[in-house]
Amino acid sequence: MSLFIGSCCLSPPLVMGILNVTPDSFSDGGQFQHRDAAVVRVRQMVAAGADIIDIGGESTAPGTTAVSEEQELQRVIPIIEAIRNESDVPISVDTSKPAVMRAAVASGASLINDVHALRLPGALEAAAELGVPVCLMHMQGEPHTMQQAPHYDAVVTEVRTFLQERILVCEAAGIPRERIIVDPGFGFGKTLQHNLDLFHHLPRFVAIGLPVLVGVSRKSMIGQVLDVPVTERLAGSVALAGLAVWLGASIIRAHDVQATSHAVRMCKAVKTGRAGKE
C-alpha cells in the first residue's frame, strides 16, 4: 500500500517527525517556536530518517487551552514556507481550523492531520476542496477536559465505529477513500487500559483497509506502565513503534526520529524478509 503525499509516492511503514511550534506542548514546548530553530530541527529529522514532517501550532495535550486562528497562522505558516524553500520533504499540518488548513496547503503542506477528524465547522469542506490526504483521529471530548473521566462501554468497537462513520462522511463530501488515513487517537480521551486495549487490537483498525497512523511517542501510557517521566520514555516509545509496525501500522508519529526510524526499518526487514528502506 503506497501513500501519495504531494508529489511523493511513499512506501510504508513511514516515520512522521513531530515539530511543535508551540510554547506548551507536553514534551518539547517552546523549543522550536522560532523559524531558524525549527528549520534546523527539520534538517536533523530528515537526516535521521523522517519521511514526513508534522507541524503543529496549537498544543492538544491534556489541560491545554485553544489558541486563536490568527495566532496559529502566525506560528505555522512562516515555518512551512521556510521548510518548503529548502526541502521537498512532505509536510503535514496538525490543525483543525479550516483557515489554517487552506493557508498551510497554499504554503506547501501536503497532508492535513486533524485531531477532530474534520468535525469543526468548515473543516470537511476545506479538506475536500484542497485535495490533499487527510488523517482522521478519534478523540473523546476536548483537549482541555478529555482526560478527566474518559468512559467507553467497548472502546475498540466505539473508536472503530467512529472512524468508519467519519470515512463515510468524508467520501460523501468528495474526499476519496485513497486520500484518508485513520488514527485511533492514543491518549486523547482514553485511560491507560483504553490505550492498551486499542493497541492490542490494532489489527482491527488495519482491517478497515486504510493506512493507520500511530502516535504514542513519549505519551503518558508509557510513563504509567514504566513509571518514568517524559524525559525517560525513549525505550518505551521505540518499543511501541516496533510493535505498531508489526501489527500493521503505516505511519509512526515520533519525537525521536532516528531511534524510531531504526526500529521501524528493522521490524519491516524481519516482517518482509527483505533488507533495505524501500
Each domain of the chain, given as residue ranges in start order, spans 3-272
Of 33, 70, 65, nearest in space to 41 by CA:
33
Q: At what angle do helices 234-246 and 192-200 cross, to 10 degrees?
A: 40
Rounded to whole angstroms, the Cα distance separating 228 from 28 reads: 17
User: What is the pLDDT tens value at each position of the chain, 278 positions in all?
Assistant: 788 898 888 999 999 999 998 874 545 445 556 788 889 999 999 999 999 999 999 988 777 778 899 999 999 999 999 999 989 999 999 999 999 999 999 999 999 999 999 999 999 999 999 999 999 999 997 777 777 788 999 999 999 999 999 999 999 999 999 999 999 999 999 999 999 999 999 999 999 999 999 999 999 999 999 999 999 999 999 999 999 999 999 999 999 999 999 999 999 999 999 886 54
Question: Exactly one of 75, 219, 233, 268 is catalytic; which is it?
Answer: 219
The dotted CATH code for 3-272 is 3.20.20.20
Q: Give strand pairing partners of 181.
A: 135
253 given a catalytic annotation: yes
CA atoms within a 13 Å half-sphere pointing along the CA-CB vector of 5: 30
Rounded to whole angstroms, the Cα distance separating 32 from 246 reads: 32
Rounded to whole angstroms, the Cα distance separating 215 from 198 reads: 12
